[in-house]
Every structure is written in C-alpha cells, then in structure tokens.
Structure 1
Amino acid sequence: MNPSTSSADSEAKNEICKVCDLVAHGVHFGVSSCRACAAFFRRTIVMSRTKKYKCRGGHSKCEVNTSDRYQCRLCRYNKCVTMGMTAENVQWNRDPFPENRKRKEHGSEKEEEMKKRPPSPPHALLTKPKRIVDVTMLSAKIQKILNDKKIAENPKLKNLNNLERLDHALREWRSKQKKEEDMEMISKLTIHEMFQMCEDQMLVIATWLAHCPFFQKLEPTERYRMFKVVWNVWRRFERVEMSVQMFGRRTPGRVMKFAMSEKFYVTPKLSIDISKITNWPLSAQFMGGLFRDSVRKLFEQTGVQLAYLEPSSMEMTYMLSQLSWQLAGQALQGKVMEIAEIQQEELADNLHHHYLQIKRRSNYAGRLVKLMSVVNIVKRLQIERKITIELANVFDFFNVELSDPDFFEG
C-alpha cells in the first residue's frame, strides 16, 4: 500500500478537497484532498521546489480554489501545509510518469462486459438496427497528426515556450479567417455539411494539440482519448470568441452572426436538416435546437465578458489550454491528470512571463480571474450539453452510430 494515501477512501466520500474545493478522492498526506493537489504536494517536496516558489500576488494571500489553484504555487503549497499535509509520508524515488503501467487495449473492457451479458430479450429484436457511419479514415488522419513529433520539433518553435508554441498554432489557424465582407452566409445546413466543417476543424485542433510538448508525453492512445474529450468544446469556444471579435463588440450579448468556419457564417435563423440521422418526427426540432442553443448560451453567458476583456491571442490560447487540460484531466484521470497538473503550472509561468516581460504589466491578477471565470462558464455549459446528449441517447433519437462511438463524447 502506498503510505502517502490512506486506505480509508470511504471517509472522504462526498467530501471536498481541503485545498482547492474540488471533489476529494481520498486522504492524502493526512488531508482529505483530490489527486491533483496530492500530486502537487508530493512533487513540491520531492523536487525541493519550496524555495523556488514566489507569490504571484506578492502578499502570500492568493485565493486557492477550483479556478485559481494553478495560478500561485506558493499559496497553494502554503494552504496544503495549513490544512495539515505532512511531508513525512511522501514517497521518494517514485517516477512521476511510470512508463510500465499495465493498460488494457482500447475497448477490451467493453468486449469482456459484452461477453458476460445475457442474450437480448425477444423484444429487442423489434428495434431497427442502426446504420453505422464509418469514421475510420478520419480517425486515422487525426491520430497521424497527434503522433507527428515533427510538428513539435519545428525549427520555428525552437525558442518558444509552451504557451508561445500553442499561440503560434492558434495564429496560424486564425490567419486563414476571412473578413466579414468576404465570408458567405449559410441559411440552410445539412448534417453532412455540418460534419464536413467539423472534420476540417478537427484536423486544426489536432495540429494545435500536437504543438504542446506535454501532450507528447502522453501515450498515443491517451492523446487520442484527450482529443475526443476536448475537440468539440474547443471548437465552439474558439468560434464564439472569434465571432464576438468580428461581429459582437457593440452588442456582445446578442451576436447575430456566428463565424462557423473561416469562410462561412450563420445567423439565429439557420435551418439545420438532421433528418438523415433520426427517425423521430419531433427530434429534428429538439436536436436542431440543441446545436443552436449550445452556441447561443455561450454567446449569452460569455459574450459580454469577452467583448469587455478583448483577450489577446496569447490570452485566448491560455484559456483554450486551461479548458482543454482541465476537462481532459477530470475525464481521463491517471497519467493524463498528472501531466495536466504540470502543464497548467507551466502555462501559468508562461503567462506570468508574458505579462511581466512582454506587456510590462505586473498587476494582472484581476484580469486573470476574469479570464478564468469565462473558462469556468464554458466548462459548466459543456457539462449541461453532455447531459442533454445523454438524454437524447436514452430516448434513442439517433438512427446512426459511429464506428468510434465516443467520437463525439465531448
């Protein structure tokens, strides 16, 4: 048994992490805490980082909570100690990224579960078999990009830090964005056309992720799983911010145009034909509303803040990165969470350097809080959206299945 973690996980059930207020996963180093804060405390002790930490706010009074735990490492460590974490049980000489973890092949658990299930009851045979949409070729394209080490080794990126690399990738994508007068309005959209736009943006997002050195530390299967968790919310958030930037400075809460891609924009009157993926007469209205509402809610709840903040490309990159790694860490746990923890600390350092050395701005704490509040809104809306989609699946709204069922899990 790992002496750093008490076996009495049940005692921490339904409790919150005493350090950051997220859900606790057990008692670590004597304190009910989440795995992320436990890993942070262990790394701090093992790597003797306490003397290297400096308070971002300058007064050792920074907030440490669900949204701000990554911003000031000194205050986070001090809170760990204040809450009662002790270094006595920290394991030394433990590889933070063990490469010899035993992992099951993707899908093997599902196959074993299917073998144990009893035969389907007779009434199940009355259900119409769903048409399978093969995304194998698209999946192969995405994984080829995610595993292409040459992207991260591009000589242009040699002297750039982590955040600057990702900003470089975001700028490359946005450099293709046409001006409003050169864009074409779409009033009707089929599900095939919509998926085609998503497919093009999937490749962009895969390339963006591949620019990150920490992303390359993941196993290939973990890279692909992370991509599936984040691509859709990344796409929507990036497009909403671009739309506010292009069309919504005057009326950010009522943006009437949405830059769906670099070439096309739509309005609230957009008609989405999803008849190819459903047999339910009412589901077209329901699901069409879902597609529109997920974007509408983002506009309504983040538009004003985005218009007011006018985030720079670097700040938008920071928000996209925090959003991606937080969602991936929470969804995938394990090694992904460990790397997500370090990645977010690195991003915070990079942004700190950007504000101080590039922008010559030392008092940025308030702005950072506002940026992260936007990220938290996007995360909350993403949870709501997933619940709605799960509800649609429960009622069998879709008459198609993807060859990779969790391709749209995000």
Structure 2
Amino acid sequence: MWAEISRSSFWSGQLSGVRRVFQVGCTFIREFLQRFFRRTIVMSRTKKYKCRGGHSSCAVNTSERYQCRLCRYNKCVTMGMTAENVQWNRDPFPENRKRKEKGSEDEEDTERIPMKRPAISPPHFLLTKPKRIVDLTILSGKIQKILNDKKYYDNPKLKKMNNLERLDFALREWRAKQKKEEEMEMISNLTIHEMFKMCEDQMLIIAAWLAHCPYFQKLESSERYRMFKVVWNVWRRFERVEMSVQMFGRKTPGRVMKFAINEKFYVTPKLSIDISKITDWPLSATFLGGMFRDSVRKLFEQTGVQLAYLEPSSMEMAYMLSQLSWQLAGQALQGKVMEISELQQEELADNLHHHYLQIKRRSNYAGRLVKLMSIVNIVKRLQIERRITVELAHVFDFFNFELSDPDMFKE
C-alpha cells in the first residue's frame, strides 16, 4: 500500500512545471537562433539552402543539430522571425567572406571540407573553437570498481541489517565527515574545474552508497553503471539541500542563504561560477551559472519548509533518497531495472513500516509518509525541468566540449 502512496502524486502538477521551463527555454532558443537568422538574411543565403532529408522536416536536436540549414531557417520563421526586423548595420561581415559566399555554388559542401577554407577572421558571434573531448575513462573506471565491489554488500557490520538499515548506515558514514557550521569555509568564486572536482568526489560517495543495497547487487554490471549515471546528480543535490536546511535553515527554511556544497565548504546566492572554459557563448555566466543557482534555489523554496518542519531522521532521508533513485532509474531504464525497482520500493516500505512500529513505537505514521513522498515527488519534478533546460543547451551548442561518456552529465 505504501509503495502506491510513494508513486501516486508524482505526475500531479508536472505538466505546468514543464510548460514554465519550456517557455523560459524558448526565450533562450530565440536569442541564439536570431544570430543564425540574421546571418542568413544579410548574406542572402535563403535560396542556397537545400533540405538534406528532402522533405523539409529534419529534426533539430542533439543528434542532428545544425546539419540541415533549411530546416533550421524554417524553425526561425516558425518562431516569428522576419527579414524586415533584421538590423543590417550591425556587426558587418568581412568582405573576403562575402566574396567566398558569392563564388560558392554549394555552401554546405564547402563547410564539410574545412581544410580548403581560406584563413579568415570570422565575425565575433560565430562559434570558432572546435569541441574538445573530455576523457572520463579514469573516473568511469573508479566508479565501476566501487559499484562492483562486493565488500560494500558483504560488510560484516551489515549482515543483520535490512535493506533500509544498510542504506542508512552508508548515508551516516558519509555524513559523519560533515564539518560543523563554524568549521566550514565560504566559497565566493568557483571555477568549472573546482566544481567538477567536487562532483567527482561526491560521485564516488554515491557509488558506494548504491553498492550497499542488496537489490542493486542483483543488476548486471552494465545496468549498475547506467543506473548510477541516471541518479547521481539529483541524489547529490537533494542530499546537500537537506543537509543545508538541517544546518542553516531552521529559522528561515524557505530562504536558506547558505548551501553546503560539500562537507567542507558552503556557498551563498552571490556565488560566481566561471565556466568560460566550457562555452564560447557570451551569455554563459547567466545561463549555466544561473541554472546551477536556480536549481538549488528552487529545491530550497519548494522543499525547505517541509524538510525543516518534518526534520527527517537519517533513516527517513535514506528512504527518500532510495525512493528517488529507484523511481527515476526504473522510469529511465525500464526492463529489468524497472522490475527490480518495484521490488526494492516494496521492501523499503516494509522496512520503514518496521522502523516506525518496532523502533519508534509509532503506529500512526501514514500522514508523515505522505509528506516525505511529496518532497520526493517535488524533487523528481524539478529534475525533469532541469533536464529540459540542459537538453536545450545541448541542442543549440551552448557547450564547446564533449564527454567521452555523454550520459555521465545527461541529467
């Protein structure tokens, strides 16, 4: 019964949240498309574009982005862009680039052979740097070694523990390293390398937490790694938000001004994130840095009061993290992962029932369970909104790098 309560309200209100994010994303898309549209009109390219698919219906997405300029131009038109509104006296194009365009019968064939292009200086708003590959092989190896290490499952301390107690044990081990507020240091500026390093450290912690779960051990090695990639980032954000509310937000839970980004440092809303190394777009600081702050801010605003009021125990937090992880993984991966997810959630509900009755001596806990799961559903909804925003960034080439394992940061 409690497994049903856990999943019942997830889709409630989800559509409105997705719609809000989509509207914001459209504003972001329009600004980037305007650059392409203006370049097309000023350089009279519309008649040169030909649909590569032959049906004028090519997808503009992460796998096909920018491959068909005609369909990309048509997308601009459908978004309301017109030639009459183009500013002609702004950012003039180099004359040698114009002459090249006039002498080319097929612009797309020319762009497919970059070595034959003359060495020219392009306009400032064109992306010019080739994408770099970020090799995650070493990190991936460390994570998979932990996920497949039997020592976490076979730990003698865990032999008499049930499923939920094991996860609580692993969570408390991690949180035992958390410094007290007066011992933590504030970070006001953060580079992308520092941010990635913090993520890497927390990935290893989350991998160890997952490895403690008996049902996780029933998955094939490849499925464990796939599940990890689905859940690690949302697990990390939710756990840190709850810890921040616990440490800093008892008096003003909905307006927490400090975020415990890891066990040693905290940040404030004034945090400056330098991401110039991973993007060429001038709006980088406002987009990705803002996305990071907004995702944390929304978690605080929409879950902070409830978390502060409920004051979840370590056992309840382990329950919420596990429900969150297995529900997301089951929905994303389907198949065997979905089957095991159902079994895991049912056993977790039984374990929590035992905890309330036998340990807490509390029989009337249904209302509290509903509130705990309402928080989980909020986190899931916000994760979907964030995923859409990140996807839009990839569609329009916001990032100037690619990962050797693209799913690692797929959200």
1:165 aligns to 2:107 (yes or no): no
Structure 2 residue aligned with 1:143 = 144
**Number of aligned residue pairs:** 306
Structure 2 SS opposite 1:280:
coil
The residue number in structure 1 matching 2:21 is none
Counterpart in 2 of 1:66?
A: 8
Tell me, in whole angstroms, the C-alpha distance in 1 between the residues paired with 2:5 and 2:274: 47
Indicate which of 111, 114, 119 corresponds to 1:123: 111
SS of 1:386 mapped into structure 2: helix
Provide the secondary structure at the position in 1 that maps to 2:8.
Answer: coil
From the superposition, tell whether residues 124 and 381 of structure 1 become closer, same or farther in structure 2 (CA, over 3 Å).
farther
Q: Which has the higher contact order (CA 8 A, sep 6+)?
A: 2
Q: CA deviation at 1:149?
A: 1.1
> Runs ≥4 in structure 1, deviation > 2 angstroms?
62-68, 120-129
Matched to 1:272, the amino acid is: I
Distance 1:283 1:369, change over 3 A: same
Say if 2:386 is the partner of 1:390: no
Runs of at least 5 residues in structure 1 that lack an aligned partner in the other structure: 1-54, 69-112
Matches within 5 A, 1:302-341: 302-341=303-342
How far did residue 65 of structure 1 move? Answer: 5.8
Preserved contact between residue 279 and residue 399 of structure 2 (Cα < 8 Å): yes
Residue 64 of structure 1 deviates from its aligned partner by: 8.8
Distance 1:63 1:305, change over 3 A: closer
Seen in structure 2, the aligned counterparts of structure 1 residues 124 and 266 have a Cα distance that, compared at 3 Å, is farther
Deviation at 1:168, TM superposition (A): 0.1
Look up the match of 2:288.
287
Does residue 373 of structure 1 match 2:369?
A: no
Give how far 1:150 is off.
Answer: 1.5
Determine the C-alpha separation between the residues in 1 that align with 2:113 and 2:203: 36
CA distance in 2, matches of 1:339, 1:390: 28
Residues 402 and 180 (structure 1 numbering): CA distance in 2 closer, same or farther, change over 3 Å? same
How do residues 208-219 of structure 1 correspond to structure 2 at under 5 angstroms?
208-219=209-220
- Residue 257 of structure 1 corresponds to 258
In 1, distance between residues paired with 2:406 and 2:258? 32
Q: After superposition, what is the alpha-carbon deviation per residue over 1:262-309, rounded to whole angstroms, capped at 9, x for unaligned?
A: 000000000000000001111221111001111010000000000000
Residues 121 and 361 from structure 1, CA distance in 2 versus in 1: closer, same or farther, beyond 3 angstroms? farther
Partners of 1:205 and 1:231 within 8 A in 2: yes
**Map of 1:48-63 to 2, 5 A cutoff?**
none
Q: Deviations over 1:322-365 (max 9, x none)?
A: 00000000000000000000000000000000000000000000
CA–CA separation in structure 1 for the residues paired with 2:133 and 2:283: 22
Q: Which moved more, 1:210-219 or 1:276-285?
A: 276-285
1:180-224 deviation per Cα after TM superposition (whole angstroms, max 9, x unaligned)? 000000000000000000000000000000000100000000000
Which SS does the other structure have where 1:406 is aligned? helix
Contact 2:5–2:370 (Cα < 8 Å) also in 1: no
Shift of 1:124: 5.4
1:66 corresponds to which letter in structure 2?
A: S
- Computed over aligned residues only, the root mean square deviation of the Cα atoms, in angstroms, reads 2.2
Matched residue, 2:121: none
Opposite residue 339 of structure 1, the aligned amino acid is I
Unmatched runs of 5 consecutive residues or more in structure 2: 11-62, 69-107, 115-127
Please show how residues 181-330 of structure 1 align to structure 2 within 5 Å: 181-330=182-331
| Maintained 8 Å contact 1:177/1:263 | yes
Distance 1:349 1:400, change over 3 A: same
SS at match of 1:360: coil
Report if aligned partners of 1:133, 1:400 keep a CA contact under 8 Å in 2: yes
Contact 2:2 2:349 survives alignment (8 Å):
no
Q: In the alignment, is the contact (CA less than 8 A) between 1:278 and 1:284 conserved in 2?
A: no
Q: Where is the helix percentage greater, Structure 1 or Structure 2?
A: 2
- Asked if the contact 2:230–2:329 (Cα under 8 Å) also holds between the matched residues in 1, the reply is yes
CA distance in 2, matches of 1:65, 1:337: 13
1:401 corresponds in structure 2 to 402
| Identity %, equivalent residues | 82
Return the index of the structure with the highest Cα Rg.
2
Q: Which residue of 1 aligns with 2:155?
A: 154
C-alpha separation between the residues in 1 aligned to 2:365 and 2:181? Answer: 32
Q: Deviations over 1:46-96 (max 9, x none)?
A: xxxxxxxxx779xxxx9696249xxxxxxxxxxxxxxxxxxxxxxxxxxxx
Cα distance change of structure 1 residues 142 and 367 upon mapping to structure 2, 3 Å threshold: same
**CA distance, structure 1, for counterparts of residue 298 and residue 6 of structure 2:** 28
Q: In 1, Cα distance between the equivalents of 2:400 and 2:328? A: 29
Equivalence map 1:86-125=2 (5 Å): 122-123=110-111
Supply the distance in 1 between the matched residues of 2:218 and 2:113 (Cα, whole angstroms). 45
State the Cα distance separating 1:129 from its structure 2 match. 2.5
Query: Is the Cα–Cα contact under 8 Å of residues 6 and 370 in structure 2 kept in the other structure?
Result: no
